[in-house]
Chains A and B, each alone.
Chain A
Amino acid sequence: MPRDTLDRQINNIKDEVLILGNMIEQATLLSVDTLKNRNIRAAHELIEDDQLINDKRFAIENAVLILIATQQPIAHDLRILTAILEVSTELERMGDYAKGICKITIKMGESDIPIPIRDLVKMAELAVTMLHKGLSAFVNENLHLAQSIPLEDDNVDALYHKVYRHVVEVITANPATFDEAHLLLWVAHNLERLADRVTNICERTVFIATGEMMEMDSTDDEDQED
């Protein structure tokens, strides 16, 4: 079969992307868990593990560059590989979000958490589910699935607004809790941004299949800056 080498190499890289995605999923859930359980030590360990995520991302980029140089891919093959470069960057950013959550855990220390933690946990679970499906759609080039995932972002946004209102109530009631409440808002913000990045991954999936770049907005109108 012609281009066996190229196909095989592309599949290997896709596997690595799934592995990286898995690492991000784990990091996200565990980071929220350290906050819930006030596990400072675990938070430190997770922060160190972020290095592994960075290494994996660079390994994927390297593999893609080598493949482009040696196999001269064009058209569909080229779109897959350039999309993988984009996606690995997105995943690495998501890893940074998880790291940020761990840092907040450390900063919180022993202080009280003035809002229900279960909302944050729920946000993390939803975002991770979105990521999992999004990466599955990506490696399988499942156009239909990729187009349906951004809609789930609405749920994450709804939870974010709920947490936001809670934080405002708490600060209004007791201004001394401002620092802690503010940090928790930041955690929610990270999780909401993580879900938004999954949308970017879905746009890339559409691009691979059709060759067209489409903005797929969820229904929120927050600006997409980091």
Chain B
Amino acid sequence: MNKNNSVFESRAQGNLNKRHRVSKIWRSSFFLSTTIGIFSLVILLFSIINQAFGYVIVENKVDPASLSSMPLQSLEREELISILQENVSKNRFKTIQRDNPVEELKRSELVGLVTSEIIKPTTLKSYFLIPSLTNKAEIIRTQQDEFPNAVVQFRSWISPSFLTDPLSTNPDTTGIRTALLGSLWIIVVTVLIAFPIGIGAAIYLEEYSSNNWLSRIIKTNIDNLAGIPSIVYGLLGLAIFVRGLNLITSGVFIGIDQSNGRTILSAALTMSLLILPLIIINAQEAIRAVPSSLRQASYGLGATRLQTIWHHVLPAAMPGILTGTILAVSRAIGETAPLILVGASSFINKDPSGLFSNFTVLPIQIYNWTTRPQAEFRNVAAASILVLLIVLLTLNTAAILLRNHFSKNKAA
């Protein structure tokens, strides 16, 4: 036994200890980097969650109990309409009737109307999550001292109604439906435009073009385009799509009566240009990664180039292409500056109904709210950030699932 040990020791010692030590040090640094990264993410997430939940001190202008003995949600539409008519000034009712005739409103929307027009709950003070959990006694004391007519409620600012209510100027009642739909509309149209163009370009560049100086210049420039600040795309979009192609993007050419080009179509075209280089580069990589043995097998059977690309190369590259597309989409969802330039409305509460509607998007809405003075808007902004993060997470999960699904088919 001892003899064996000494064989290993005498030969291998020397710099072995040093090498192990250096190894350990590097391993610790890598671990430290990971820790810092995770730690930062946790802090970020934590501060957002902190702002999205908490106690609020709420006061109703009119007590709902005085309107009806039963909870509002359980009343019939006729009853709600009559409550509305009784408690709202005639002029105001006329205004409401003109914008949104009460006969056409659903029951939940009538409840919302009653709440916002009559009951008018007002948040007097809001607290973040940590103070809520730790200082509950003090909050109650404050309420009793300063706001005797109010109640203390635990509110989660992110809620189903938050997602489905339209935008409003009141932080208590506002929802993000308008902005959410705007974001989704833009993303869908962007993908519909950018995906085929991007894939087509990538196929041409990888499969058809010969490696001469012209194609090398094109490839270099596409790489450069990917790095251009997104606000430059905004300027481009404004000049070309909003103003230059006004007739098309505003919908006038098909008879829509609208005077400006600040539509979803312009925004989607602009965003397509923004993510197009990313999609092209990513698709090129994915196509390049398809082993040439697959192409050779196809050609060897007497297939044309198109048949080879369509039946073999593209399907094999598809997981990579899809993953890259979804990542590009994730980036596009978070873009703010170019959309501001292209004309996202700063306040709009009508849902986008088509390509030629005016619009707003989540990031812009978040920005708007954080600039407002009222403290409650900070909570609302945090809630919207959570929504945005959830959308991104969903997209990334979809990317991973798609990739796994396709990889299963290819596994050897």
Q: Do chains A and B touch in the complex (CB under 8 A)?
A: no
A residues engaging B (CB < 8 A)?
Answer: none
